[in-house]
Amino acid sequence: MRNYTQFYIDGAWVDPVAPQTAEVINPATEAVSGTIALGSPADVDRAVAAARRAFASWSVSTVAERLDLLRSIQAVYTRRMAELGTAVTEEMGAPIALGQGFHVGLGAGHLQTAIEVLESFRFEERKGPTLVLREPIGVCGLITPWNWPLNQVTVKVFPALATGCTAVLKPPQLAPYSAQILAEILHEAGVPAGVFNMIQGQGSVIGAALSRHPDVDMISFTGSEPVGIQISKDAADTVKRVGLELGGKSAWIVLDDADLAANVAAATGGMMVNAGQTCSAGSRLLVPNARLAEALEAARAAAEAVAVGDPQGDVGMGPVVSKGQWNVVQDYIRKGIAEGAELVAGGPGRPEGLEKGFYCKPTVFKATNAMTIAREEIFGPVLVIIGYDDLDHAIAIANDSPFGLGGYVSGQDRDLAIGLARRLRTGAIWVNGGFDFHAPFGGYKRSGNGREWGEHGFHEYLEVKSIIG
């Protein structure tokens, strides 16, 4: 049983101003796994004041000093990776192999990337008669979600520190453990007092207080569109910068070639990773109508091959994060059936033999792009397959979405695939797989604004100053 009832403020673990706690539920067992403190606006005031004081010195620290700190963090992070993976599995139900692997690896990758970028980043450059400076924006409020808890925290914290900003982190209430351990790592690594602060609690309380706070210069938020809109409104009165990475309903276009069945199977399996709780997941799979039957069979077989169960075991998919999220997924599945979508695999309810835990069936529908399950982000293991007549039709379907976060194209003709990728109105597109920590990540349209990852992530935390003459 974990008991995290203090916040990290000004270089020390401190009690909340007004002690209040909440239980954390293990999604695999539905049992209480621990307790966290819930913060208040008074705690935000303390953390922001500490960050503001620390900014005076950290903002003028040298690149060498910041690199030393990041490398010290890296050494401690590496030593505690197993603990972090265990925490991720316990807090949000990721299978142990995924928690110890990709979840923890993403955090390590963002840390290494911040080091690589900082080593060569140009904070000053001459443009004719003008000296252009890139300076830290100030105190940053970082608000993160539960679905990839280490990824979302580290992709904000490390660039913020690397650029000379100070930060107040509000981790997700549903998945708070890995952030708590990360705060311990930063403390052990020697982060100066006030440079990094962390308050656990409710987003409606802590997130709102950070967004409205006059001494917070920037908010970086990853989460749902409605919350992102509210944060933007809350931040407007103080004209602070707001970076938003919101929802997605990404299209995955499979080309008509000899690899179609294998690509459909890969896309289906990919949708079920992390129980479908990935904002950039390829949740709309577009396949040629001429081979729709073949594609549906490949998807059905792939979905039924996904082993669902106790995340401590050798499984491909664990539970979704909470009872509330389980209900959301079930409602969408029932809505898909009610609207006439063809159920190819899965369906409502828990998988057979799993009576406890927030487990969903890997579900596949054949649908149209007009149906609710093709328009709205489900955030669960539900794949929608849509047929297209030709590639112009595929592009039209893919772009017919209020979102524009991710996209995928799979096929043997790489040049053709890249040509299609150019036509997709979305922020990041994977052509036949691949991965790059330096690639900018962020959304078009209602998927948000700004970019994270790599060098582009640094620019989110910098102001530009011109010294002319």
Catalytic residue positions, numbered: 245
Sign for the pseudo-dihedral over CA of 86, 177, 23, 321:
negative
To 10 degrees, the CA torsion angle through 413, 416, 420, 421? 60
Q: Which residues pair with 444 in a beta bridge?
A: 404
- End-to-end CA gap in the chain: 62
Q: Which tokens go with 164?
A: 């000379």
> Residue 127: CB partners within 8 Å, gap ≥ 6?
none
Q: Residue 351, by phi and psi: left (phi above 0), alpha (psi -120 to 50) or beta?
A: beta
Pairing assessment for the beta strands 406-410 and 428-431 based on DSSP bridges: parallel
